[in-house]
Amino acid sequence: MNPAFDLHPIQAVTGLPIYSDSVTSIDGATLFLARTQSGPRLGVLAARESPLRSRFDRDVTESGGQLLSLCPLTHANAVALREALLWLQPRPLGLRTSAGCGDRLGLATPGHVRAARQVQERPGQPVLGMIFAQQSIREMTRTARTPEQVLDDATSGTFQEGWRASVGADADHLKTLTDLERCAAVGYSFFTIDPGEHVDSGADKAGSQALLAAFEALPWPQLETTPADLRARYANLRFDLGDRALALDQETLARAGVKYGRAVAHTVRMYRRLVEVRGARAFELEASVDETATPTSPAEHAFIASELKRLGVRWVSLAPRLVGRFEKGVDYIGDLHAFERDLAAHAAIARAMGPYKLSLHSGSDKFSIYPIAAQHAQESGRKAQCEDAEVGNTRARTTWNRFRALETKEDRGEP
């Protein structure tokens, strides 16, 4: 409950149960979320002269010299709420610990907020960067939702629970310019570019003649280089990873180029369009090649990062295809020692070529790898970003109380 407010006057005026943590006073008005028989309503209790009064689509009644508005949770009202309460506006989160929650149905954000708050209250815990709005276009299509609905539902849940730290909003696994533009127009702050359809996993086992032909056939104008220039650049290039150096011989370079060259070109195209449509509004980008058939080797990771940097892309995180399997809702499937060696190598590259974060997708319920991820994130001076689970400081233990924190208040019969 928000101790700064006495709920009784608001309840007396509205006759409704109030979500206590939502109550906020600003510009001569009190904003809150109330429960009604037809669902939650945004409440605005304001003096007649309050500038906030006219921002919301509302029905107005007068009580005790103040005007009461009970507003439906429409897109227009969600936009107005974000404009009034700046901490609800998605913004870049940088290299701090971040976690994307992936509320697929628009109902779980209150529970996500309470779980995040539990983690945040641990002694010594750094400030979390929470991404409550996170959904891919594929998931939106399957659940019949829009980018606006995903963002608005997260706004409502965040407001309900009184979360006032910075939040991001992730337009996840974007594959087309059209989908990117849709999400950018709504106000997302984080854009996960998925060029997986442009990754050629067959390069791993291609014969020398087929590999050479595929290398020569890469979209060199889009990559803004030539085969000869690319070979010359990497001939004497060494990536200093601290405890070791990494070099790409001609065959390794060819395989990396064939496998990921078109993916790099697609990511560059998406990034440059994002710069155009966002204008002066800051944003963050992730390059994600995790949904592919074969793992990303450290050499291939270095190639991707080197080429993106050469082509002017700025990114905050990268999701390589790690060894093993990351299936939703179950623990990591694979050899933990192999996973640790792989993650350590990718973390070293992210340190040397960034710094930027490594992103672990489908990270929920991966209890066996949380300590490994936390260790290498701490060694990197950063934290791992993980879809659906807070990984950075997890100790790979989950208690009944932690699960209960994911329930909504309605589940427990509370307002």
Instruction: Specify the DSSP class assigned to residue 325.
Output: B
Catalytic residue among 152, 172, 387, 388: 172
Helix (H, G, I), strand (E, B) or coil at 392: coil
Note if the bond before 355 is cis, omega within 30 degrees. Answer: yes
Q: Note whether 319 and 360 are within 8 A (CB).
A: yes
Catalytic residue among 286, 300, 342, 390: 286
Distances from the Cα of 405 to the Cαs of 100, 137, 341, 409, in angstroms? Answer: 17, 28, 34, 9
286 flagged as catalytic = yes
- Considering only CA atoms, which of 94, 67, 122 is closest in space to residue 397? 122
Helix (H, G, I), strand (E, B) or coil at 6: coil
Q: Give the Cα separation of 274 and 264 in Å (integer).
A: 15
DSSP string, 305-319: HHHHHHTT---SEEE
The residue ranges of DSSP E strands in 8-137, in sequence order, are 18-26, 29-36, 39-46, 59-63, 66-71, 98-100, 129-136
27 flagged as catalytic = no
Q: Note whether 98 and 129 are within 8 A (CB).
A: yes
Q: Note whether 32 and 13 are within 8 A (CB).
A: no
Just list the catalytic residues: 172, 286
